[in-house]
Amino acid sequence: MTRDEAGIWVTDPEAYRRKLADLLGERDPLDVLSETPNRLARTVNTTPADVMRRRPFPGKWTPNEIIGHLSDSEWVYGFRVRQILCEEEAAILAMDQDRWVAVQNHNDREPSELLEMFSGLRLFNLGIWRRIEPSDLRRSGRHDQRGPESLDVMLRMCAGHDLSHLDQLDRYLRAISES
């Protein structure tokens, strides 16, 4: 079982992939990945830190924690891409996203620090994604929960993941402003 961004347990890994693919639609994943740091910067630069640290719903992440999670995910995706490019039949380990967010105390950090961390990692990873040859997109690893995933699928999932969390961030900030 895997857990999607809304915190819903998904017993069908393909449903998770479809969800992210549907969010991406026909958009170029590299365009989405390139735009995300600027979209996050607009939010961080126009939202007070105390608002970013507010929990809009019991048991859900704060806006700050969403950005922390995006930073964690960027680190993880970057590692996975390099594994698949450099190893045969790379093992892709799952992460407990809620635990990563909680243990690292993302909500206690400055939003600008989380943004800087995410933006640096994204810039670094975009360099890899842009240099990948089309034939390399067929290379795959084996996710320990979702099974085989090619770099092509991973690229699209990463972009869909961004879109999912950008939407979540907007919804949570609206809920905070209405409370």
**Residue 2: per-residue pLDDT:** 43
SS3 80: helix
Q: How distant, in Å, are the alpha carbons of 53, 116, 154 from that of 67?
A: 11, 10, 20
Q: Phi and psi for 109 in degrees, rounded to 5? A: -90, 160
**Residue 64: per-residue pLDDT:** 98
pLDDT in tens, 81-106: 999 999 998 999 999 999 999 999 99
Could you tell me what percentage of the chain is helix, strand and coil, using 3-state DSSP and rounding each to the nearest 5?
A: 70, 10, 25
**Residue 1: per-residue pLDDT:** 37
Low-confidence ranges of the chain (pLDDT < 50): 1-9
Q: Which burial class, exposed, middle or buried, applies to 62 when counting CB atoms under 10 A from its CB (0-12, 13-18, 19+)?
A: buried
In 29-175, the DSSP E strands lie at: 90-92, 140-143, 147-150
pLDDT in tens, 138-155: 999 999 999 999 999 999
pTM listed for this prediction: 0.92
